[in-house]
Structure 1
Amino acid sequence: MNLKTEANLLKISIFSTIVLAIIGIIFGLLASSSTIIFDSIYGLIDAVMTTLALIVAKLIINSTSKDFVNSRLEKHFTMGFWHLEPIVLGVNGILLISAATYAFINAIDSFLLGGREILFGYAIIITLISIVIELSLGFYIKKANKTINSEFLTLDSISWLISASMSFGYLIAFGFGYFAMNTNLQWITPYIDPTILIIVTILVIPMPLKTVKKALADILLVTPSELKSHVDKVAQNIVNKYGFNSFRAYVARVGRGRQIELYFIVPKSWPPKKLEEWDLLRDEIEKELGKEDPDLWLTIVFTTDFEWAE
């Protein structure tokens, strides 16, 4: 993973979100539109979570460097910071779902109360500005993330596209309302905004669910079946090659980190081996599992006592 690329994209996203949110709040007040104001506050929440994502990304990279061993943080986080990634992703996804759910409930309430009169001109201007910025950033980050493969950027691009889809809904509502003014359809205009918002939120609420599900699986240390199968295959090959009695493998994925514990049961009849020989065997196993991966936390134990592997 290229941290500089990920960090730069997240910084661009944060800056753009804050600027767009400030402009949105101003235009929302001018238009007297609670929808635009809410959308801007939603953006600020997203900016805060993106900032946390950037901090966590830096911590994870720094924790895998040699300099981290002697740092002050290492004394308090000896296991690294991988566990923070799914927490941030989960909270971010839940906040996105919660914000959209709140917008849905708010739209229902507004509809039942007779809608809301707004100044459509100001609303259309800020909506067009929002669509251009949101679509541009959403697709740009998504394209860049094909080579970076960052969960943070995946969620961030989804967030921008969610915002763009909501803005399209607003544009339809505000545009129709603008042209319906001073016509026989003017009585509909107070209901346009809440109706479109209801439709948009129904569509966007499920979008972060996959990310939240994966984050919860990482937090709960659910064993990834694909990774477990790979580890079992490598360990079984080692058992067959060197004649161990058996092995036990414990696997978990925590964010981008992979935590693997392997216990090989050594026959008691084996003659003693030098520590260097065991280390060479560890190196062989590590190479098979991904030696160059800085996000791999690997523990390999050789024992004649089966209870140590349980």
Structure 2
Amino acid sequence: MRNTRPARFDPTTEQGVLRLSIAASLAMAAAAVGFGLLANSSLIIFDGIYGLIDVVMTWLSLLVVRLISQSTQVEALQSRLNQRFTMGFWHLEPIVLGVSGSLMIGAALYAGVNAVDALISGGRQIALGPAIVFAVLSIVAETGLALFVRRANRAIGSEFIALDAKNWVVAASMSAAYLVAFVGGWALGGTAWAWLVPYIDPAILLLVCLFVVVAPLGTVRQALSDILLITPADLQAHVDAVARAIVAKHGFLEYRSYVAKVGRGEQIELFFVVRADDRPRALLEWDRLRDEIGQALGEESTDRWLTIMFTTDREWAI
């Protein structure tokens, strides 16, 4: 019997790409810690810590993706977990993204403080040979992974994968900074500027930390917006345009719309106020009207939570 289950590392699926990224991140983090200890470089050790944080948060992202995917399957709707979370798991996505970005920022701030302390204390002597080897290997591996993840996400369109691709770009940029710093330190050895060599490692670490602090700010800001249920202006405008057209077409009195974006999920609630003397309609006719509104709002998706109600009492719409 042929196995129809998708491969665990299928690059055409969100979960497959995230699993590949987790495996690569774990390997790179272990290599960074090893080379960092060998070279006595706080810069490379920070790269390893950064990678380990990325592994943990990517694993959490994968878990959330699986929960969201399973919760939207009909056969899973009666599971015990789904009965405890009847509103779905979309709210976990911005939480994970926000925590991930915040941890990256926190780690960078801590490493930045240590870098400043090292600069004040006279710098740090490092073994440049292992450091240069690691920087070259890292640039090749991380650049390749960044390109692979971005290309895979063109068809998938996942916020989690987009953040992961951004993290690989950050990692490759950090490795490029390492290479420039270490090669520069090697070139300065034996010259009148050799006294600068101990300051290279903490100085570049400080610059990298400043970059790492800035990179996730957009993701953290968007995650906070989703957690606070701030209404996206473009989505609200689209929903209002559809609702106004329905009111005009069917002679309703008015409408109320409530819109929020939570991670990949869109939550839309529409209340239409109908005239008290409006002609009686069969339930089937109201359902057809709901279908009309749903189609006007856009293609049906498992990530859209749509509620449409009709009432003659304005208080039900407030």
Could you say which TM-score interval applies, normalised by the shorter chain? over 0.9
Aligned residue identity for 1:292: E
Q: Does 1:162 align with 2:170?
A: yes
Q: Does 1:88 align with 2:92?
A: no
Q: Deviations over 1:239-291 (max 9, x none)?
A: 11110000000000000000000000010011322111111111111111134
Cα distance change of structure 1 residues 4 and 56 upon mapping to structure 2, 3 Å threshold: farther
Quote the offset at 1:42 in angstroms.
Answer: 1.2
Quote the offset at 1:138 in angstroms.
Answer: 1.1
Question: What is the TM-score normalised by the length of structure 1?
Answer: 0.96
Q: Does 1:246 align with 2:254?
A: yes
State the secondary structure of the residue aligned to 2:316. helix
Distance in 2 (CA, whole Å) between partners of 1:84 and 1:275 is 36
State the secondary structure of the residue aligned to 1:272. coil
Q: Is the 8 A contact 1:3 1:57 kept in 2?
A: no
Distance in 2 (CA, whole Å) between partners of 1:33 and 1:200 is 14
Q: Does 1:36 align with 2:44?
A: yes
Aligned residue identity for 1:177: G
Q: Does 1:219 align with 2:227?
A: yes
State the secondary structure of the residue aligned to 1:244. coil
Which residues of 2 match residues 10-29 of structure 1 at below 5 A? Answer: 10-29=18-37
State the secondary structure of the residue aligned to 1:182. coil
Q: Does 1:178 align with 2:178?
A: no
Q: Is the 8 A contact 2:266 2:305 kept in 1?
A: yes
Q: Where does residue 112 of structure 1 map in the other structure?
A: 120
Which residues of 2 match residues 62-141 of structure 1 at below 5 A? Answer: 62-141=70-149
Q: Does 1:236 align with 2:251?
A: no
Quote the offset at 1:58 in angstroms.
Answer: 1.2
RMSD between superposed Cα atoms in Å: 1.5
Q: Is the 8 A contact 1:166 1:201 kept in 2?
A: no
5+ long unaligned stretches in structure 2? 1-9
Distance in 2 (CA, whole Å) between partners of 1:201 and 1:70 is 47
1:49 to 53, 57, 73: 57
Distance in 1 (CA, whole Å) between partners of 2:127 and 2:250 is 78
Distance in 2 (CA, whole Å) between partners of 1:291 and 1:12 is 31
State the secondary structure of the residue aligned to 1:260. strand
Q: Does 1:148 align with 2:152?
A: no
5+ long unaligned stretches in structure 1? none
Question: What is the TM-score normalised by the length of structure 2?
Answer: 0.94
Q: Does 1:298 align with 2:301?
A: no
Distance in 1 (CA, whole Å) between partners of 2:61 and 2:141 is 21
Aligned residue identity for 2:225: A
Q: Where does residue 277 of structure 1 map in the other structure?
A: 285
State the secondary structure of the residue aligned to 2:281. coil
Distance in 2 (CA, whole Å) between partners of 1:104 and 1:176 is 21
Quote the offset at 1:292 in angstroms.
Answer: 2.1
Q: Name which of structure 1's ranges 153-162 and 140-149 shifts more when overlaid on structure 2.
A: 140-149
Q: Name which of structure 1's ranges 217-226 and 189-198 shifts more when overlaid on structure 2.
A: 189-198
Quote the offset at 1:308 in angstroms.
Answer: 0.4
Quote the offset at 1:171 in angstroms.
Answer: 1.1
Q: Does 1:205 align with 2:213?
A: yes
Query: Percent sequence identity over matched residues?
Result: 53
Equivalences, count: 309
Quote the offset at 1:108 in angstroms.
Answer: 1.1
State the secondary structure of the residue aligned to 1:70. coil
Quote the offset at 1:205 in angstroms.
Answer: 2.0
Q: Where does residue 289 of structure 1 map in the other structure?
A: 297
Quote the offset at 1:4 in angstroms.
Answer: 5.3
Distance in 2 (CA, whole Å) between partners of 1:291 and 1:194 is 52
Q: Is the 8 A contact 1:290 1:296 kept in 2?
A: no
State the secondary structure of the residue aligned to 1:205. helix
